[in-house]
Amino acid sequence: MSLAETVRSTLDGLDEATLDGLRGRSLLLTSEWSAAELEELLRVARAFELLDRSRIPAALFPNELAYALFFDNSTRTKSSWAGAAARLGSSPVIVDGSSTQVEHGETAEETGAMLGMNAHAMGIRHDLILGEGNRFLRAAKQGIDGYLAATGDERVVPIVNLQCDIDHPTQTLADLLWLKKRFPDGIAGRKIAVSWAYSPSYAKPLSVPQGLITLLTRFGAQVELAHPKGYDLMPETIAQAHEFARASGGSFQVTGEMDQAFQDADVVYPKSWGPFDLMLDRVEANRRRDKEGLKEVEKRALERNAQHTDWICDERRMQLTHQGNALYMHCLPADIGSEVSRGVMEKARLDVGREANGKVYVIMALLAVAKAKALQEQLLALVNG
Ligand code: CP
């Protein structure tokens, strides 16, 4: 099948009714979308990838502005947002959250309204403080929606979660896109180990493991979460993972042994996150705007991490996996020599690059399903010239 024929058959597989239901939708948590909607989104993402590889431009939203507000560092997500906006014909506008008036107390709702009055889409990363990130996204959305309604403006401005305290949807959906390529028959029945791993660099957010366990369990995977004592995830995400696994016919379990999670795994996703109690201490220090307190919490988190330097994805552990050959995944950046051995990472270098590359198409799909009328027709028209 030629590339153009593959695009056509991917587009023919889209479901108009599901696409209609996605018009105007923001993505704040994957758990708020149905499995069918997430599958449809990934089909659109795949179509954008194929169009891109066929050098067929998909400038659906010319002369529009796609804002992204970042309250934390980013390499991949920021460049994926910019790449997605540009491919759709829009101009990306990246705003550094620390330079906004939020630092001086301007509320999320006001910020949303002020940026939203100029924007045609808005991505937000607010991932460092438990209990605050997703709440900020929701308040910003209220600000934008309120402004548009009050002014009678029919512009559709979807909000895209570019990582919050609970979830990292563009990452986990890019991960799922990659898994679908590696396992064309689906991930149902596949054992996926989501494991804590040692990091000396910083206390990383909980959103990636939480996002993974609440997404992959929806598609029948056998997800096993491993972490040392004290590195729990938010209890509501654990409860959801159990519930989703029951509903999909998959499974979900938690262990304190990295080796157990790796045993016979088809996929391993070892990455670090911060100790739960210290992540809560960080919330308090942040509320007091106590910069020294925040530094102190970070120091204690790294000392705690250092008690678990043996939690590394190395050649010995990879040998425990299915046929010693599990797919290694990481959202990146990885701490090489700590989270993962140099050898394992070298072997997986191209795989993790391809995993990361899916994010640009996931973001394109999120903006397109939310904003485009008759999307299937428009995309088919691009292929048919
Ligand atoms: N994986 C990920 O979200 O990377 P960035 O932090 O660089 O965006």
**pLDDT tier at 384, thresholds 50, 70, 90:** confident
Q: State residue 297 phi and psi, 5-degree precision.
A: -60, -45
Distance CA 82, CA 72 (A): 16
Distance 76 CA to ligand 1 centre (A): 5
Distance CA 372, CA 254 (A): 41
Answer yes or no: are the C-beta atoms of 68 and 95 closer than 8 Å: yes
- Specify whether 20 is located in the same domain as 129: yes
- Specify whether 277 is located in the same domain as 158: no
Interhelix angle 207-216/169-182, nearest 10 degrees: 50
Contacts (Cβ under 8 Å, ≥6 apart) of 365: 41, 42, 44, 45, 47, 48
Strand positions, DSSP E, the chain: 65-70, 91-96, 121-126, 159-164, 191-196, 222-226, 251-255, 267-271, 327-328
Per-residue pLDDT tens digits for 42-78: 999 999 999 999 999 999 999 999 999 999 999 999 9
Per-residue pLDDT tens digits for 309-349: 999 999 999 999 999 999 999 999 999 999 999 999 999 99
Per-residue pLDDT tens digits for 157-190: 999 999 999 999 999 999 999 999 999 999 999 9
- Specify whether 280 is located in the same domain as 247: yes
- Specify whether 41 is located in the same domain as 190: no
Q: What is the pLDDT of residue 48?
A: 97
- Specify whether 300 is located in the same domain as 375: no
- Specify whether 343 is located in the same domain as 370: no
- Specify whether 140 is located in the same domain as 255: no
Task: State the CATH number of the domain containing residue 91.
Answer: 3.40.50.1370
Closest-CA residue to 355 (of 330, 337, 375, 373): 330
Phi-psi region of 185 (alpha: psi -120 to 50; beta: other; left: phi over 0): alpha
Answer yes or no: are the C-beta atoms of 115 and 69 closer than 8 Å: yes
- Specify whether 230 is located in the same domain as 163: no
Find the domain containing 182 and state its range.
171-357
Q: How many residues are present in the chain?
A: 385
Classify 237 as helix, strand or coil. helix
**pLDDT tier at 84, thresholds 50, 70, 90:** very high
> Which residue lies with its CA nearest to atom 5 of ligand 1?
74
**Residues in the ligand 1 pocket, defined by CB under 6 Å:** 74-77, 163, 171, 331-332
Closest-CA residue to 157 (of 256, 105, 90): 90
Q: What is the pLDDT of residue 2?
A: 79
- Specify whether 147 is located in the same domain as 264: no
Distance 259 CA to ligand 1 centre (A): 27
Distance CA 282, CA 228 (A): 20
Per-residue pLDDT tens digits for 2-38: 777 888 899 989 999 999 999 999 999 999 999 999 9
Q: What is the pLDDT of residue 74?
A: 97
Tokens of 73: 């560092």
Q: What is the pLDDT of residue 1?
A: 77
Per-residue pLDDT tens digits for 231-260: 999 999 999 999 999 999 999 999 999 999
- Specify whether 345 is located in the same domain as 373: no
Structural domain count of the chain: 2
Mean pLDDT, residues 95-121 = 93
Q: What is the pLDDT of residue 3?
A: 77
Per-residue pLDDT tens digits for 204-215: 999 999 999 999
Q: For a substitution probing ligand 1, which of 171, 272, 355 has the most ligand atoms within 8 Å of its CB?
A: 171
- Specify whether 377 is located in the same domain as 295: no
Distance 246 CA to ligand 1 centre (A): 30
- Specify whether 263 is located in the same domain as 222: yes
Residues facing 237 on adjacent strands? none
